[in-house]
Amino acid sequence: MKLPQKPPLYIDLLRKYLSNANRVETILRLPPPDEYPHWDRLRYLTPPASSTLEEWWASIKIRRMGASKSVPLTDKMGISFRFALPDFVQAQLHEIDMGAGRSIGVPEPITNPQTRDRYLIRSLIEEAITSSQLEGAATTREVAKEMIRTGRPPRDTSEQMILNNYVTMQRISELKQQELSPEEVLSLHRLVTDKTLDDASAAGRLRRPNEMRVVGDKYGEVFHEPPPALELPARIRAMCEFANGRTPEFFVHPVVRAIILHFWLAYDHPFVDGNGRTARALFYWAMLHSGYWLFEFISISNILRRAPVEYARSFLFTETDDNDLTYFIVAQTKVMRRAIEELHHYIARKTNEVREVEEHLRALNLFNHRQADLIRHALKHPLQEYSIVSHQKSQNVVYQTARTDLLNLKARGVLGQKKRGRRMIFTVPRDLTDRLRRLEKVARADAS
């Protein structure tokens, strides 16, 4: 990845064009381009007729600067970062509000207490894995999932990173009702980096003056040089004031506030390592703290991992164009909207799979109607436990019939079984859908 070309200085554009009132009027009438391009991309486009590329950029900048507002985050020179909300960004914010902040249209499996934990654990694992992969963790998804689900200790640094992210995401869920403090930021960093740093003492503390971290590539090109370490305590306090809604004085949409918080920590780069993972953790805290509860089930890192260059470039666009945070906001709202859509698609696919299994079972007559009723119930209530007496009462049959039904389901691998005192308890296997599919294949093979 290359550094984007810096645009012409805004002050130079003003000096050049403001002296000619007629030309200024013409420039201001130039149509804006689609979305929100940086100069590095605009320079490859064809400007409107009777104008130069620089004039087109001047008209864009005048509009943007007039519509933007500053936030308490400043760069190393003390200049504030700013943002604007173009119409298409406001439309995306509205979609995020509707898709993640309300109960309208939320899939039933997430609102069902019996099934919501299954999707929550999936999301926590997905975010833990992909957030670590963004930072260089190298392990297969299957191995990572097996480690988390079985509780075995990590075997290497990559697995430790993933486990740390998983624990951190659980902690974020616990903190969502609380305000953010500098101490909690350090605590989250400690969770993220536990047992993964060359210097173990760097976990949970700010970097020191002799630990300046320059963000660059393997060829030595510098992309970002964060503020001096001595400024970090004050900057972290200001960041927490912003996160808790005490600054600035004007209203900031909660989603925009969460996105800027993400950028803020990444820009300050206050830690020796683990800044990206901590920044994304703070983003999740901000979303949940503001009532966007569906983000417990959403993985943004899964989307970012597929386009890491775009993720990095949105930082660079902001830094190279008058501290314009809008570039990062545009990129992140797109990521969030896609993540919400993918969650809905995933749940719809899983719901359809269950429905198809039910339909196939009915068509193949693998079970009697009582057993089929129980299976349909079990597919929607994976934590449910069944007893002979409960099945007897539900189906209004004699004890022996209920016992035969359940033991048959157990023998065919549809239900698990355990003892509770003298009673037999029948449980729902985690992979019930897969087991039913295997039974269906066997039945079809026998029929042919």
CA 164, 316, 286, 345 dihedral sign is negative
Identify whether residues 288 and 395 lie together within a single domain. Answer: no
**Segments of the chain with pLDDT less than 50:** 103-104, 219
- pLDDT value of residue 113: 64
Answer whether 158's CB lies under 8 Å from 187's CB.
no
Give the C-alpha separation, 54 to 58, whole Å.
6
Question: What is the tens place of the pLDDT at every residue in 115-128?
Answer: 666 677 778 888 88
Domain of 320: which CATH number?
A: 1.10.3290.10
Identify whether residues 342 and 431 lie together within a single domain. Answer: no
- pLDDT value of residue 237: 98
Residue 135 lies in a domain: yes
Residue 229 lies in a domain: yes
Cα dist. 336→26, 116, 259, 280 in Å? 38, 20, 10, 12
Tell me how crowded residue 174 is: count the other CB atoms within 10 A of its CB: 8
Identify whether residues 313 and 396 lie together within a single domain. Answer: no
Give the C-alpha separation, 400 to 416, whole Å.
19
- pLDDT value of residue 379: 83
Cα dist. 260→29, 315, 369, 412, 421 in Å? 31, 11, 56, 54, 56
Helix (H) or strand (E) holding 153: none
- Cβ neighbours for 76, distance < 8 A, ≥ 6 positions apart: 225, 227, 228
Identify whether residues 263 and 160 lie together within a single domain. Answer: yes
Residue 94 lies in a domain: yes
Can you list the alpha helix ranges (DSSP code H) found in 269-381?
275-289, 300-304, 308-320, 326-364, 369-380
**Domain final residue, candidates 283, 314, 347:** 347
| Number of separate domains in the chain | 3
- pLDDT value of residue 273: 93
Residue 275 lies in a domain: yes
Identify whether residues 111 and 136 lie together within a single domain. Answer: yes
Identify whether residues 43 and 56 lie together within a single domain. Answer: yes
- pLDDT value of residue 364: 63
Say how many CA atoms lie within 13 Å of 16 toward its Cβ: 13
Question: What is the tens place of the pLDDT at every residue in 329-361?
Answer: 999 999 999 998 888 888 787 777 777 777 766
Identify whether residues 61 and 73 lie together within a single domain. Answer: no
Long-range contact set of residues 20-28: C-beta below 8 Å, sequence gap at least 24:
23/55, 26/50, 26/51, 27/51, 27/55, 27/58, 27/59, 27/62, 28/59, 28/62, 28/63
The DSSP annotation for 189-248 comes to: HHHHHTTTSSSGGGTTSPPPGGG---EE-TT--EEE-PPPGGGHHHHHHHHHHHHTT-SS
Which domain range does residue 40 map to?
10-67
- Cβ neighbours for 323, distance < 8 A, ≥ 6 positions apart: 75, 79, 80, 81, 82
Residue 286 lies in a domain: yes
**Domain final residue, candidates 29, 50, 67:** 67
Identify whether residues 84 and 108 lie together within a single domain. Answer: yes
- pLDDT value of residue 256: 98
40: which 2 tokens?
A: 């590095």
- pLDDT value of residue 216: 59
Answer whether 74's CB lies under 8 Å from 81's CB.
yes
Give the C-alpha separation, 319 to 7, whole Å.
11
Beta bridge partners, 255, equal: none
Identify whether residues 258 and 376 lie together within a single domain. Answer: no
Domain of 385: which CATH number?
A: 1.10.10.10
3-state secondary structure 47-76: CCCCCCHHHHHHHHHHHHHHHCEEEEEECC
Residue 432 lies in a domain: yes
Identify whether residues 372 and 397 lie together within a single domain. Answer: yes
Give the C-alpha separation, 173 to 117, whole Å.
13
- pLDDT value of residue 219: 47
Residue 358 lies in a domain: no
Q: Is the pTM of this model over 0.85?
A: no
